[in-house]
Amino acid sequence: MTGDASLGYTAAANKRAGAPSPPPRARTAKRNPHVTDAPHNAPTIVCLASFFKGTDFLREAKRQRARVVLVTKERCRHDDWPHDSLDEFVVLPPDAGPDDFGHAVTQIARQQRVARLVALEEFDVQTAAHIREHLRLPGLDATTARRFRDKLAMREAARAAGIRVPEFVHALNYEAIHDYMQSTPPPWVLKPRTDVSAIGIRKLHDAEQVWRALDELDARARVHERAPYHLLERFVPGDVFHVDGLVLDGEVLFAGVNCYGRPPMNVAHEGGVFLSYTVAHDAPERAELLRLNQAVVKALGLRRGATHAEFIRGTADGAFYFLEIAARVGGAYIAETHEAATGVNLWREWARLELTDASRPYELPPVRHDYAGIALSLARQEWPDTSAFNDTEIAYRVRKRHHVGLVVRAPEQGRVRELLDDYARRFITDFSAVAPPLERAE
């Protein structure tokens, strides 16, 4: 049964006050009859998701006997959410902003005591932090969240902690930009400070291109797309790695280290097949990346949660540079790849971490030390048929419109890379499509 969330939470109070009911702003299932009642003292965990993410998190939170509430947007209403694990499902209008999410969570908190508020999606991290501060909930505060959303803020914090980053400048002060281009050789990359993946990134080769790009940005109608919401950074060619971890009390309890087959920016701008595979367990670069990942987590101040960090090893000097980190599980089926290699599901363990307290301390499950990798591509077909791929090492098949992807697992890294190289060639021939790079997420 569905009803109006605002009315559901405030009608009684308005009636007592003699005020009219507010206009509908959200739709919610008041109580899901298919969900087993949680114990009377069960913690309530509210999850925000502006995009379809985190189904394993929601299921695990319910398995942990929590009361689970999901707040999402109208465009996600009919996605494949695990409704059997949701006590409430709140749907906000398509144009809902941070204030609407804050109002929805506030109304939920008037009816029950919220224990945790979690942003399953990158674009909700800052919103969730502001709501936590308003409701005085534990977790990432707005200042700390900013360091995990703002590429400028995270670089400044990392550099202050002695972590190597590519030379950068805020695209704000004209003199500072001019001095930067005089002292730092091109090419450079112009990056939005708060977008994800390679969205909106441009590679520029001379000062004239930079000034023209900044002028074009400043002419945009949306203020948050203009030049001051960007940074300019030295382009460092090299191999890009990602470290995906779980953090409790500021310590990284688990981390998987992978290398991209091609830098994500190249895939986004040139097309082709996205590849990622486990770094050799005894490789010196793995140990160095684990050290750097812990240093970044400490410098940016995360106490609890999941992280996805990226580093590049420069071709010219062989040194590692920190690129960015997010306080969430990585996308592009990275969680499924790590699970194939280690047996650790990052979404499920993140849910357990969020619900950890003195009465139920967290314990990491046993970790396997196999190797895994993923080949993923946009596809010409709506639902690509991968039945011709029948290797026993296949651990997961991506099921998403106009995408083709396979995760493989093996005891040796060589076998994983052999399969990924083969799949990449076959994907390009049989499936792959190329789309222009995104300028914005929506």
For residues 274-294, give the mean pLDDT.
97
* Res 409 pLDDT > 50: yes
Task: Please state which CATH number belongs to domain 167-234.
Answer: 3.30.1490
Q: Where are the domains of the chain?
A: 2-139, 167-234, 238-430
pLDDT band at 264 (very low <50, low <70, confident <90, very high): confident
pLDDT, tens digit (0-9, with 9 covering 90-100), for 162-203 = 999 999 999 999 999 999 999 999 999 999 999 766 678 999
pLDDT band at 306 (very low <50, low <70, confident <90, very high): very high
* Res 25 pLDDT > 90: no
What's the confidence (pLDDT) of residue 35?
Answer: 57
Distance of CA 305 to the CA centre of its chain: 12
Q: pLDDT higher for 74 or 25?
A: 74
Distance of CA 298 to the CA centre of its chain: 19
Mean pLDDT, rounded, of the chain: 90
What's the confidence (pLDDT) of residue 407?
Answer: 98
For residues 408-418, give the mean pLDDT.
98
Q: Which helix (H) or strand (E) holds 304?
A: strand 304-314
* Res 2 pLDDT > 60: no
What's the confidence (pLDDT) of residue 200?
Answer: 85
For residues 152-159, give the mean pLDDT.
98
Task: Please state which CATH number belongs to domain 2-139.
Answer: 3.40.50.20
- On whether the CB atoms of residues 29 and 1 are closer than 8 A, the answer is yes
What's the confidence (pLDDT) of residue 438?
Answer: 56
pTM: 0.88
What's the confidence (pLDDT) of residue 79?
Answer: 96
> Which CATH superfamily is 238-430 part of?
ATP-grasp fold, B domain (3.30.470.20)
pLDDT, tens digit (0-9, with 9 covering 90-100), for 346-386 = 999 999 999 998 888 999 999 999 999 999 999 999 999 99
pLDDT, tens digit (0-9, with 9 covering 90-100), for 61-106 = 999 999 999 999 999 999 999 999 999 999 999 999 999 999 999 9
Between the alpha carbon of residue 329 and those of residues 87, 121, 343, the distances in Å are 23, 9, 16
- On whether the CB atoms of residues 372 and 409 are closer than 8 A, the answer is yes
26-40, 212-226, 321-335, 350-364: which range is least confident on average? Answer: 26-40
For residues 419-432, give the mean pLDDT.
95
Between the alpha carbon of residue 174 and those of residues 165, 178, 207, 261, 293, the distances in Å are 22, 6, 12, 37, 33
- On whether the CB atoms of residues 384 and 399 are closer than 8 A, the answer is no
* Res 4 pLDDT > 70: no
Provide the H-helix boundaries in 301-364. 334-342, 346-354
% of the chain surpassing 90 pLDDT: 83
Distance of CA 335 to the CA centre of its chain: 11
pLDDT, tens digit (0-9, with 9 covering 90-100), for 366-377 = 999 999 999 999
- Backbone dihedral region for residue 215 (phi beyond 0: left; psi -120 to 50: alpha; all else: beta): alpha
Residue 177, φ and ψ in degrees, nearest 5: -65, -45
d(CA 86, CA 68): 5
- On whether the CB atoms of residues 260 and 332 are closer than 8 A, the answer is no
SS3 268: helix
What's the confidence (pLDDT) of residue 267?
Answer: 74
